[in-house]
Amino acid sequence: MLTENPPNTSVIIFGRDISRIPPSGYTRIFIPCDIFSLVLQGTGGGMASVASQNNKDPKSGDNIMIAGLSAQVFTMALFIVLAAEYGWRVHKRLRAQGSAGLDPTHAKLRGSASFKGFLAALTLATLCIFTRCVFRVAELAGGWRGVLMKNQRLFIGLEGVMVIVAALSLIVFHPGLCFKPGYEVDEKNRSADDIAD
Protein backbone atom coordinates (compact mmCIF):
# COMPACT_ATOMS: atom_id res chain seq x y z
CA MET A 1 0.00 0.00 0.00
CA LEU A 2 2.99 2.32 0.22
CA THR A 3 2.48 3.34 -3.40
CA GLU A 4 -1.13 4.31 -2.96
CA ASN A 5 -0.72 8.08 -2.93
CA PRO A 6 -2.76 8.29 -6.18
CA PRO A 7 -6.00 7.98 -4.14
CA ASN A 8 -5.01 11.29 -2.53
CA THR A 9 -4.76 12.78 -6.02
CA SER A 10 -7.98 11.07 -7.16
CA VAL A 11 -9.88 12.73 -4.30
CA ILE A 12 -8.63 16.11 -5.51
CA ILE A 13 -9.59 15.28 -9.12
CA PHE A 14 -13.19 14.36 -8.31
CA GLY A 15 -13.75 16.89 -5.53
CA ARG A 16 -12.37 17.43 -2.06
CA ASP A 17 -15.78 18.21 -0.61
CA ILE A 18 -17.10 14.74 -1.46
CA SER A 19 -14.53 12.91 0.67
CA ARG A 20 -15.10 12.22 4.37
CA ILE A 21 -11.41 12.88 5.05
CA PRO A 22 -9.17 15.50 3.41
CA PRO A 23 -7.03 14.27 0.49
CA SER A 24 -3.82 14.48 2.53
CA GLY A 25 -5.52 12.33 5.18
CA TYR A 26 -5.13 9.28 2.96
CA THR A 27 -1.36 9.70 3.01
CA ARG A 28 -1.19 10.68 6.68
CA ILE A 29 -3.30 7.73 7.80
CA PHE A 30 -2.35 4.88 5.51
CA ILE A 31 1.40 5.33 4.98
CA PRO A 32 2.23 5.24 8.74
CA CYS A 33 -0.12 2.25 9.18
CA ASP A 34 1.67 0.46 6.35
CA ILE A 35 5.10 1.24 7.80
CA PHE A 36 3.95 0.00 11.23
CA SER A 37 2.68 -3.29 9.76
CA LEU A 38 5.91 -3.78 7.78
CA VAL A 39 8.02 -3.15 10.88
CA LEU A 40 5.98 -5.76 12.78
CA GLN A 41 6.34 -8.26 9.96
CA GLY A 42 10.10 -7.69 9.71
CA THR A 43 10.61 -7.85 13.46
CA GLY A 44 8.55 -11.02 13.76
CA GLY A 45 10.34 -12.62 10.82
CA GLY A 46 13.73 -11.81 12.32
CA MET A 47 12.74 -13.17 15.72
CA ALA A 48 11.31 -16.37 14.21
CA SER A 49 14.44 -16.89 12.11
CA VAL A 50 16.82 -16.42 15.05
CA ALA A 51 14.72 -18.72 17.24
CA SER A 52 14.68 -21.43 14.56
CA GLN A 53 18.46 -21.21 14.08
CA ASN A 54 18.94 -21.61 17.84
CA ASN A 55 16.57 -24.60 17.92
CA LYS A 56 13.98 -22.63 19.91
CA ASP A 57 10.26 -22.20 19.37
CA PRO A 58 9.68 -19.46 16.75
CA LYS A 59 6.05 -18.95 17.91
CA SER A 60 6.62 -15.45 19.38
CA GLY A 61 8.11 -14.20 16.12
CA ASP A 62 5.39 -15.92 14.13
CA ASN A 63 2.72 -14.21 16.23
CA ILE A 64 4.33 -10.81 15.68
CA MET A 65 4.44 -11.47 11.91
CA ILE A 66 0.76 -12.47 11.98
CA ALA A 67 -0.04 -9.30 13.95
CA GLY A 68 1.77 -7.22 11.31
CA LEU A 69 -0.06 -8.91 8.45
CA SER A 70 -3.38 -8.62 10.31
CA ALA A 71 -2.75 -4.90 10.83
CA GLN A 72 -2.08 -4.58 7.11
CA VAL A 73 -5.29 -6.45 6.26
CA PHE A 74 -7.30 -4.23 8.63
CA THR A 75 -5.73 -1.06 7.21
CA MET A 76 -6.35 -2.17 3.63
CA ALA A 77 -9.94 -3.13 4.45
CA LEU A 78 -10.48 0.34 5.92
CA PHE A 79 -8.92 1.90 2.81
CA ILE A 80 -11.15 -0.19 0.53
CA VAL A 81 -14.27 0.80 2.50
CA LEU A 82 -13.35 4.51 2.39
CA ALA A 83 -12.49 4.36 -1.32
CA ALA A 84 -15.70 2.50 -2.17
CA GLU A 85 -17.77 4.93 -0.11
CA TYR A 86 -16.06 7.86 -1.82
CA GLY A 87 -16.77 6.29 -5.22
CA TRP A 88 -20.41 5.89 -4.23
CA ARG A 89 -20.61 9.55 -3.17
CA VAL A 90 -19.06 10.63 -6.51
CA HIS A 91 -21.57 8.44 -8.34
CA LYS A 92 -24.49 9.96 -6.40
CA ARG A 93 -23.20 13.48 -7.09
CA LEU A 94 -22.91 12.72 -10.80
CA ARG A 95 -26.45 11.33 -10.92
CA ALA A 96 -27.86 14.34 -9.06
CA GLN A 97 -25.86 17.18 -10.64
CA GLY A 98 -24.06 15.74 -13.65
CA SER A 99 -20.44 16.67 -14.31
CA ALA A 100 -21.21 20.21 -13.11
CA GLY A 101 -21.21 18.80 -9.58
CA LEU A 102 -17.52 17.91 -9.80
CA ASP A 103 -14.43 20.13 -9.76
CA PRO A 104 -14.26 21.58 -13.31
CA THR A 105 -10.47 22.00 -13.15
CA HIS A 106 -9.94 18.31 -13.85
CA ALA A 107 -12.84 17.61 -16.24
CA LYS A 108 -10.55 16.78 -19.18
CA LEU A 109 -8.56 14.31 -17.08
CA ARG A 110 -11.69 12.61 -15.66
CA GLY A 111 -12.96 12.10 -19.20
CA SER A 112 -9.77 10.52 -20.52
CA ALA A 113 -9.69 6.78 -21.19
CA SER A 114 -6.22 6.50 -19.65
CA PHE A 115 -7.39 7.96 -16.32
CA LYS A 116 -10.36 5.59 -16.25
CA GLY A 117 -7.91 2.77 -16.97
CA PHE A 118 -5.74 3.96 -14.09
CA LEU A 119 -8.71 3.86 -11.69
CA ALA A 120 -9.52 0.30 -12.80
CA ALA A 121 -5.84 -0.71 -12.44
CA LEU A 122 -5.62 0.83 -8.97
CA THR A 123 -8.75 -1.03 -7.92
CA LEU A 124 -7.41 -4.31 -9.32
CA ALA A 125 -3.98 -3.82 -7.69
CA THR A 126 -5.53 -3.00 -4.31
CA LEU A 127 -7.78 -6.07 -4.40
CA CYS A 128 -4.89 -8.31 -5.47
CA ILE A 129 -2.64 -7.12 -2.64
CA PHE A 130 -5.52 -7.41 -0.18
CA THR A 131 -6.13 -11.01 -1.31
CA ARG A 132 -2.43 -11.77 -0.95
CA CYS A 133 -2.34 -10.35 2.60
CA VAL A 134 -5.43 -12.30 3.70
CA PHE A 135 -3.85 -15.48 2.32
CA ARG A 136 -0.57 -14.78 4.14
CA VAL A 137 -2.40 -14.34 7.47
CA ALA A 138 -4.22 -17.65 6.99
CA GLU A 139 -1.02 -19.34 5.82
CA LEU A 140 1.08 -18.19 8.79
CA ALA A 141 -1.73 -18.84 11.28
CA GLY A 142 -1.61 -22.49 10.23
CA GLY A 143 2.07 -22.68 11.15
CA TRP A 144 5.19 -23.52 9.16
CA ARG A 145 4.04 -27.10 8.71
CA GLY A 146 0.39 -26.23 8.07
CA VAL A 147 -1.69 -27.28 5.08
CA LEU A 148 -1.57 -23.85 3.40
CA MET A 149 2.18 -23.51 3.94
CA LYS A 150 2.76 -26.80 2.10
CA ASN A 151 0.40 -26.06 -0.82
CA GLN A 152 2.65 -24.69 -3.57
CA ARG A 153 -0.19 -24.07 -6.04
CA LEU A 154 -2.08 -21.87 -3.59
CA PHE A 155 1.13 -20.05 -2.74
CA ILE A 156 1.88 -19.35 -6.41
CA GLY A 157 -1.71 -18.32 -7.15
CA LEU A 158 -2.49 -16.24 -4.07
CA GLU A 159 0.99 -14.84 -3.46
CA GLY A 160 3.03 -14.66 -6.66
CA VAL A 161 0.25 -14.15 -9.20
CA MET A 162 -1.49 -11.52 -7.06
CA VAL A 163 1.72 -9.46 -6.73
CA ILE A 164 2.52 -9.81 -10.45
CA VAL A 165 -1.00 -8.77 -11.52
CA ALA A 166 -0.93 -5.78 -9.12
CA ALA A 167 2.48 -4.65 -10.34
CA LEU A 168 1.71 -5.11 -14.04
CA SER A 169 -1.62 -3.29 -13.80
CA LEU A 170 0.09 -0.23 -12.32
CA ILE A 171 2.98 -0.45 -14.78
CA VAL A 172 0.62 -0.48 -17.75
CA PHE A 173 -1.60 2.23 -16.24
CA HIS A 174 1.16 4.20 -14.53
CA PRO A 175 -0.12 7.48 -13.02
CA GLY A 176 2.61 9.44 -14.81
CA LEU A 177 1.25 8.26 -18.14
CA CYS A 178 -2.44 8.18 -17.28
CA PHE A 179 -2.65 11.64 -15.76
CA LYS A 180 -0.74 13.27 -18.64
CA PRO A 181 -3.65 13.58 -21.15
CA GLY A 182 -5.64 15.67 -18.70
CA TYR A 183 -2.91 18.25 -18.40
CA GLU A 184 -1.46 18.46 -21.89
CA VAL A 185 -1.66 21.97 -23.24
CA ASP A 186 -2.83 22.47 -26.77
CA GLU A 187 0.19 23.81 -28.71
CA LYS A 188 -1.88 26.52 -30.44
CA ASN A 189 -3.20 27.86 -27.13
CA ARG A 190 0.25 27.62 -25.59
CA SER A 191 1.93 29.65 -28.34
CA ALA A 192 -0.88 32.25 -28.22
CA ASP A 193 -0.37 32.58 -24.46
CA ASP A 194 3.40 32.94 -24.97
CA ILE A 195 2.85 35.79 -27.45
CA ALA A 196 0.41 37.52 -25.10
CA ASP A 197 3.01 37.46 -22.28
What is the Cα–Cα distance from 137 to 63, expressed in whole angstroms? 10
Q: Are 111 and 120 in contact (CB under 8 A)?
A: no
Where residue 8 falls among pLDDT bands split at 50, 70, 90?
low
Q: Give me the pLDDT at residue 158, please.
A: 95
Which secondary-structure segment (H or E) carries 161?
Answer: helix 161-172
pTM of the model: 0.82
Task: Give residue-wise pLDDT tens across range 26-62.
Answer: 889 999 999 999 999 999 999 999 998 999 999 999 9
For residue 35, the model assigns a pLDDT of 96
Cα 110 from Cα 74, distance rounded (Å)? 30
Whether 148 maps to a domain, the answer reads: yes
Q: How far apart are CA 176 and CA 165, in angstroms?
A: 19
In order, the DSSP letters of 29-45 are HHHHHHHHHHHHHHHHH
Give the pLDDT confidence of 86-123 residue by residue, as tens digits.
999 999 999 999 888 888 888 888 888 999 999 999 99
1 in a structural domain:
no
Q: How far apart are CA 114 and CA 121, in angstroms?
A: 10
Does some domain include residue 120?
yes
Question: Could you give the number of structural domains in the chain?
Answer: 1
Structural domain includes residue 56: yes
- Which structural domain range is residue 41 located in? 6-196
Q: Is 166 a domain residue?
A: yes
Give, in degrees to the nearest 5, the angle at Cα 70 between 66 and 75. Answer: 150
Alpha helices in 98-160 (DSSP H): 107-111, 113-141, 147-150, 152-155
Q: What is the pLDDT of residues 137-146, one digit of tens each?
A: 999 999 888 8
> From CA 161, how far away is CA 176, in angstroms rounded?
24
Inside any domain, residue 44: yes
